[in-house]
Amino acid sequence: MAPGGSECKEVVESHSAIADTDIATTKSESNTTTMKSAVSFVGKHLIHSDNGVYELLKCPVCTNLMYPPIHQCPNGHTLCSNCKTRVHNCCPTCRYDLGNIRCLALEKVAESLEIPCKYQNLGCHDIFPYYSKLKHEQCCWFRPYNCPYVGSECSITGDIPTLVAHLTDDHKVDMHDGCTFNHRYVKSNPHEVENATWMLTLFNCFGRQFCLHFEAFQVGMAPVYMAFLCFMGDNNEAKKFSYSLEVGCNGRKLIWQGIPRSIRDSHRKVRDSQDGLIIQRNLALYFSGGDRQELKLRVTGRIWEEE
Per DSSP (E only), the strands in 15-81 are 18-23, 39-42, 45-48, 71-72, 78-79
Highest mean pLDDT, choosing among 59-63, 119-123, 247-251, 287-291: 59-63
pLDDT bracket for residue 164 (50, 70, 90): very high
DSSP single-letter state for residue 187:
E
Q: Which one, of 14, 121, 7, 116, lies nearest residue 65 by Cα?
A: 116
> Crossing angle for the helix pair 104-111 and 130-138, nearest 10 degrees?
70
Higher pLDDT among residues 250 and 174, named by residue: 174
The rounded mean pLDDT for the chain is 81
Of residues 236, 237, 36, 50, the one with CA closest to residue 119 = 36
At CA 69, angle to CA 63 and CA 74, rounded to 5? Answer: 80
Confidence label for 194 from pLDDT (cuts 50, 70 and 90): low
Higher pLDDT among residues 269 and 2, named by residue? 269
How much is the pTM? Answer: 0.70
Let me know: does 41 contact 53? Beta carbons within 8 Å: no
Contact between 24 and 8 under an 8 Å Cβ cutoff? The reply is yes
Predicted local distance difference test score (pLDDT) of residue 8: 44
Read off the pLDDT of each residue in 261-280 and give the average, rounded to a whole number: 92
Q: Which residue did the predictor score with more confidence, 12 or 94?
A: 94
**Percent of the chain beyond pLDDT 90?**
45
Contact assessment for residue 227 and residue 245, using Cβ atoms and an 8 Å cutoff: yes
CA atoms of 79 and 90, how far apart (whole Å):
11
For the chain, the straight-line distance linking the first and the last C-alpha, in angstroms and rounded, comes to 35
Q: Which amino acid is at 301?
A: G
The predicted-structure confidence for 227-270, as pLDDT tens digits, reads as follows 999 999 999 999 999 999 999 888 889 999 999 999 999 888 99
pLDDT surpasses 90 at 7: no
Beta-carbon contacts of residue 104 (< 8 Å; ≥ 6 apart): none
Distance CA 83, CA 53 (A): 20
DSSP letter string over 223-292?
EEEEEEEEESS-HHHHTTEEEEEEEEETTEEEEEEEPPEETTS-HHHHHHHT-SEEEEHHHHHHHH-TTS
Residues 123, 128: Cα–Cα separation, whole Å: 15
Angle at 221 between CA 25 and CA 193, to 5 degrees: 15
> What's the pLDDT band for 74 if we cut at 50, 70, 90?
very high
pLDDT-based confidence at residue 294 (cuts at 50, 70, 90): confident
All domains in the chain, ordered by first residue: 6-31+147-305 (2.60.210.10), 39-138 (3.30.40.10)
* Section 176-197 average pLDDT: 83
Higher pLDDT, 199 or 92: 92
